[in-house]
Amino acid sequence: MSDKNARVICAVCDSAEDDTKALITCSVCTKSFHPRCVNVNLRGFHKKKNWICNTAFCRETSDDSEDMELESDIFLDADDKVVDYKLFHYILKQKDELILELRGVIKLMKSHIELLHYKNPENPDKKVGKKPDNDIANSAEGEASRETAVMVDTIEHIKTRSDTTIKINSKLPKTTLNDTKKDAKHHQTQKKISGSNKSKVGDTFGVTKTSNTPRPKNDTPNKKCVIGINSDSGALKSSPAKAYLYIRRLAKTTTADDLKTYLMNDFPEVICELLENKHEENHARFKVTINFENLEKINKPEYWPSGVLISRFFHPRKPPQHHK
């Protein structure tokens, strides 16, 4: 019994060995095994030194033990030329990782194809009914075109509803809108009055006094102006309507008399006024007054020198004056 206890026992077949070199030891549980019992190449074991058995406890102890085991224990038996089962396990694991990587690449390519179809959904050089020879490209094009069609239909539907709403609101008569405003104002007025101005009973002869209810103002539109057409009015004459122009980009040496002399032949009524300018060292600005009937004629580009800017002159609004 003492000799057997001194021997090293295999944890699989329970056979004892005197030579410790004939057995391999797990680096986690320190149990000994025959190489043939655990199907391990002894040459690969000596190269690796740290070997882990196939028990669940030892496998879970080290995180990366499985990958190290697969790399070190793949071998080809010299006797029967049989490939170890761990080689197939390693190949299957690499295959799964490759499939996941290819799925990510395919998904990225599909997204890229869809973006290209959104950017250029119609190809003018492509004939109707002609399909590409590649089945994969054909299927991808069909999916992208269907998604594009759904997006375009949704946008067109929104535009149609908006246009219809605008047309309906534009066709409503103004009287209806004004009546609606009147009813709203009248309702607010009645609501304010009903709480404060109540009927009061007089002390004399039991006469009931009721406050006068104010009526809402009528929002009547302003009446149009009347333009006279009588030509036989004697000494009473009308003043012609005036148009005011803003002339810019003239040479800084130009004066109001120079501009008036230039326009006097075609517009005898012209009045030129030099305006204040922050950039007097660069160019001059003028306000030109003519009859309104000559506005179209003076606005022709060929009438003015090259580079001169002409626009309508708008008078700035004056602040209200408070009378004492």
Per residue in 132-175, pLDDT (tens digit) is 455 545 555 555 555 555 555 555 666 566 666 555 555 555 55
Residues whose CB is less than 8 angstroms from the CB of residue 286 and which lie 6 or more positions away in sequence, other chains included: 247, 250, 254, 256, 259, 272, 273, 274, 275
Asked whether the domain spanning 242-312 has the same topology as the one spanning 2-76, the reply is no
| Domain ranges, ordered by start, for the chain | 2-76, 84-124+135-170, 242-312
Rounded to a whole number, what is the distance in angstroms from the first to the last CA of the chain?
A: 133
Closest CA to 38 of 86, 6, 89: 86
Of these ranges, 121-135, 136-150, 167-181, 303-317, the one predicted with the greatest mean pLDDT is 303-317
Q: What's the Cα-to-Cα distance from 104 to each of 98, 107, 108, 290, rounded to whole Å?
A: 10, 5, 6, 75
Residue 313: pLDDT band (50, 70, 90) is confident
Q: Quick check: 296 and 251 in contact, CB under 8 A?
A: no
Is residue 45 within 8 A of residue 29, CB to CB? The reply is no
Share of the chain above pLDDT 90, in %: 6
Residue 76 DSSP label: B
pLDDT category, 12, cuts 50, 70, 90? Answer: confident
Which class would CATH give 242-312? alpha beta
In the Cβ-directed half-sphere of 76, how many Cα atoms lie within 13 Å?
A: 2
- Would you say domain 2-76 falls under CATH 3.10.310.30? no
Share of the chain above pLDDT 70, in %: 44
**DSSP-assigned beta bridge partners for residue 246:** 287, 311
pLDDT of residue 317: 62
Give the per-residue pLDDT at 208.
Answer: 47
Query: For residue 271, what pLDDT is reported?
Result: 92
What is the spatial distance between Cα 97 and Cα 104, in angstroms, rounded to a whole number?
A: 11
Task: Please state, in angstroms and rounded to a whole number, the distance separating the CA atoms of residues 306 and 311.
Answer: 15
What distance in Å separates the CA atoms of residue 249 and residue 283, rounded to the nearest whole number?
5
On the 0-12 / 13-18 / 19+ scale of CB atoms within 10 A, 232 is: exposed
Kindly state the DSSP code that residue 294 receives in the 8-state scheme: G
Question: In terms of residues, how long is the chain?
Answer: 324
Give residue 78's pLDDT band: very low, low, confident or very high (50, 70, 90).
very low
Is a pLDDT exceeding 90 seen at residue 228? no
For tokens 């929104």, name the residue.
158
